[in-house]
A and B are shown apart, each in its own frame.
Chain A
Amino acid sequence: MTKTLDPHESPNERSVDNGRRSFFFKLGAGVSTALASTAAIAAPGGADDPALRLALLEEERALRKLHEAFERALDGGAYDEVVEMFAEDAEVVFNNGVFAHRSRGISRLYRERFRAGKTGRRIEPAPGFELDAERRQDRVVVSADRQSAEAVFPYSIQVGTPIETETSLADMARLHGDGVRTWWEGGVYRVSYRKDAVDGRWRIARLEYDTLARADYRPGRTYALPITVAPISTTYPQDPQGADALVRNV
Chain B
Amino acid sequence: MPMRIPMHRYKYTKLTPEQIGRALRATENGPTSVSPFTNALTGRTLKIVTKDGPVLEYSFGSNRRLTLSENGGPSVSAGYGELTLNRIVFFSHMIPGEQKGYNVVIDQDTNLATVFEVWMSSGIVQNAGTPNEFTLDDREVQRQIYFGYVDVGQEPPERLHHYTNRIAGKGLYWKQDTGIETLEFYASVANTNFVELTRHVDNLSWVAPSDYVLVDDHTFVYDRTEVEFSGIHTCFVADLFKCEQVGVRLGFNENDELEYYMFRGAGRVVGQLAYLEPFDEHGIVPLFAQQNPNPPKGARVTYRPVRTFRWMSDEEVHAAAERRTAAFQSGPSGVPQVVPSGHNLPFSDILVGKEFTLRFDHGGPVRDYRVKDKFKLEYRDHSENVWREVDYRAYEGDDNLAWFSHILPESKPRASVQVAVDFTNGLATSIESHMGTPYYGNETTYRAVFGVVEMDGIEPPLYERHQFTDELVGHAFSWSYSDQLTSMHLYTTPHSMSWTIFTANQTMGSQWCSPCIYVKLRDGVYLFCQNEEACNGAQMIALINTKISHDCGFSFRGGADGVTLSTTGGIGRHIGKFETREFFGPKRGVQA
Contacts and interface: CB of A to CB of B under 8 A. Distances in A.
B557 A166 contact: yes
A169 interface: yes
B504 interface: yes
Given A173-B501, A178-B504, A168 B303 contact: yes
Contacts of B504: 177-178
Contact of B485 (A165, A166, A175): A165
A182 B484 contact: yes
Given A169-B501, A182-B484, A176 B536 contact: no
A131 interface: no
A168 B484 contact: no
Interface string B301-321: 111010000000000000000
B130 interface: no
B529 interface: no
A168 B535 contact: yes
Contacts, number: 71
Nearest to A175: B510
Given A172-B510, A182-B484, A167 B503 contact: no
B501 A178 contact: yes
B426 interface: no
Given A166-B557, A167-B532, A175 B303 contact: yes
B478 interface: no
Contact of B301 (A165, A169, A171, A175): A175
Contacts of B511: 172
Contacts of A166: 536, 538, 555, 557, 564, 566
A181 interface: yes
A216 interface: yes
Interface in B467-514: 481-485, 487, 499, 501-504, 509-512
B145 interface: no
Interface in B530-544: 532, 535-536, 538, 540
Contact of A169 (B302, B483, B487): B487
B536 A167 contact: yes
Contacts of A165: 485
Nearest to B287: A176
A182 B566 CA distance: 24
B591 interface: no
Contact of B503 (A168, A170, A178, A182): A178
A35 to B, nearest CB: 43
Interface string A34-71: 00000000000000000000000000000000000000
A176 B305 contact: no
Contacts of B536: 166-168
B385 interface: no
Contacts of B383: none
Interface residues of A, number: 18
B269 to A, nearest CB: 27
Given A175-B510, A177-B504, A170 B291 contact: no
A163 interface: yes
A181 B535 CA distance: 23
A111 to B, nearest CB: 15
B290 interface: yes
Contacts of B564: 166
B485 A163 contact: yes
B532 A176 contact: no
Nearest to B500: A172
Nearest to A181: B484
Given A176-B503, A178-B503, A171 B305 contact: yes
A175 B557 CA distance: 23
Contacts of A169: 481, 485, 487, 499, 501
Query: Counting chain A CB atoms within 10 Å of each CB, which of B501, B512, B535, B540 scores highest?
Result: B501
Contacts of A216: 483
Interface in B265-309: 287, 290-291, 301-303, 305
Nearest to A173: B501
Contacts of A170: 485
Contacts of B503: 176-178
Interface string A175-193: 1111011100000000000
Nearest to B486: A169
Query: Counting chain B CB atoms within 10 Å of each CB, which of A163, A178, A180 scores highest?
Result: A178
A177 B512 CA distance: 17
A163 B484 contact: yes
A177 B292 CA distance: 10
Contacts of B302: 175
A177 B303 CA distance: 13
A136 B481 CA distance: 36
Interface in B300-357: 301-303, 305
In the A-B complex, the 6 residue pairs with the closest CB atoms: A172-B510, A172-B501, A175-B510, A177-B291, A176-B509, A173-B501
22 contacts: A163-B485, A166-B536, A166-B555, A167-B532, A167-B540, A168-B499, A168-B535, A169-B487, A171-B305, A172-B499, A172-B511, A173-B509, A175-B301, A176-B287, A176-B290, A176-B510, A177-B503, A178-B501, A178-B502, A178-B504, A180-B484, A216-B483
Given A175-B301, A178-B502, 6 more contacts: A166-B566, A168-B305, A168-B536, A169-B485, A169-B487, A176-B290
Interface of B: 190, 287, 290-291, 301-303, 305, 481-485, 487, 499, 501-504, 509-512, 532, 535-536, 538, 540, 555, 557, 564, 566
Interface of A: 163, 165-173, 175-178, 180-182, 216
